[in-house]
Amino acid sequence: MPVKTLQDLLGADVSGRTVLVRSDLNVPLDENGAITDPGRIIASAPTLRALMEAGARVIVTAHLGRPSGAPDPAYSLAPVAAELGKVLGRNVQLAGDVVGQDALARAEGLTEGDVLLLENVRFDPRETSKDEAEREALAGALAELTDGGVFVSDGFGVVHRKQASVYDIAKVLPSYAGSLVATEVEVLRRLTDQPEQPYAVVLGGSKVSDKLAVIEALAPKVDTLVIGGGMCFTFLAAQGYSVGTSLLQEEMVDTCAGLLDRYADVIHLPRDIVVADAFAADAQTKTVSAEEIPDGWMGLDIGPESVARFAAVLGSARTIFWNGPMGVFEFDAFAAGTKGVAEAIIGATAKGAFSVVGGGDSAAAVRLLGLPEDGFSHISTGGGASLEYLEGKELPGLAILEA
């Protein structure tokens, strides 16, 4: 059954109707509670703006961080509401609760084109409950705020979660896929349904265990699998090399050895590493062969030879998926690897490759390093959801829209 989209909803006239939108506004904050990367807010705006301009009464539900199922000022959506208002060019009300008296009163007072953001939905323990009845109770309360309205699923970063505001709400209200979700699915289908070859995947990040399923799913299908970031050291250890004090998942060494045996012609590991004597921005650094990481030193980035080698294989790719930085890009001394690989992907894109950046850390790196966002074909808002889609898993938040 085809999924109904935002365009279907707008074509049916939403003027005066209340529309509940599940957005992904889970943005990073600094120690002072200021937003450091508004990318997800900006990506969520087109669907909200289209509904506003069509005269809908818009209620937005979203989460921030991982509060323990109770109100916590550190995870309030107050800064998100302020930033969303700037992006949309109008005031965005913030309810003081999720589905309580303040949310209900504000929802009843909405007029055409108004936007109300409910407080962090994870302040309600029913949102992430394993008990279906508890989740359905919260979904029912959310639906009551709309007084017979509709639901738009536009938080792609959470569609792999069976949660009340993502999954159960779609069983209660007529449901539609927002423009962001529809675009993300279309892009990922291009990566899975006969992608143009050569197909290259670049994986970084800290843990092999987080990426193991996607490695096993993609390695048989791609021409090149580049591995960097903290996870590369477990692969290097699997080759028998000492990795000093670098990040290492010892329990995954045998698994990595097996992957290297099976996909020796596909997997590409760093040849040189930028190591440091401490995990600090001002640490002493040097570049060494990947086979000769000194005892007491930790690898925090891939070296220039590795960047050049990876750039060479990426340069001929026609399809590229990148998830995870090559090093600790937040520190200037360890940002060159991520920047170099990103620039290689941009170069391939300029020559006609279809490139997708998946994952919050990769997207944040693009912006922090001053790289052009339009240098990539698509920057995804959902790292975990993207990976699970590529692994072939069913995503509950998408499946329920097709029900």
25 is in an annotated binding site: yes
360 is in an annotated binding site: yes
361 is in an annotated binding site: yes
Beta-sheet strands, E only, within 103-221:
115-117, 150-153, 175-177, 199-203
13: tokens are 């006239």
Q: What burial letters (b/e) apply to 203-231, b meaning 16+ CB within 10 Å?
A: bbbbebebbbebbebbeeebbbbbbbbbb
24 is in an annotated binding site: yes
Q: Which of 360, 382, 383, 397 is catalytic?
A: 360
64 is in an annotated binding site: yes
216: tokens are 């096993």
90 is in an annotated binding site: no
CB 22 within 8 A of CB 138: no
204 is in an annotated binding site: no
351 is in an annotated binding site: no
**19: which residues sit within 8 A by CB, 6+ positions away?**
9, 51, 56, 57, 58, 59, 146, 149, 150, 151, 152
Other Cβ atoms within 10 Å of 250 Cβ, number = 8
CB 275 within 8 A of CB 243: no
Pairing, β 267-268 against β 272-276:
unpaired
Say whether 382 is catalytic.
no
362 is in an annotated binding site: yes
65 is in an annotated binding site: yes
Say whether 22 is catalytic.
no
271 is in an annotated binding site: no
CB 175 within 8 A of CB 401: yes
Quick one: DSSP state of residue 289? E
160 is in an annotated binding site: no
Say whether 40 is catalytic.
yes
Say whether 240 is catalytic.
no
330 is in an annotated binding site: yes
Query: Which residues, in sequence order, are bridge partners of residue 357?
Result: 322, 379
Q: Which of 40, 57, 135, 339 is catalytic?
A: 40
Q: Which of 162, 207, 271, 318 is catalytic?
A: 207
Report the binding-site residues: 24-26, 40, 63-66, 122, 161, 211, 299, 330, 359-362
Report the binding-site residues for substrate: 24-26, 40, 63-66, 122, 161
Report the binding-site residues for ATP: 211, 299, 330, 359-362
Catalytic sites, residue numbers: 40, 207, 360, 384
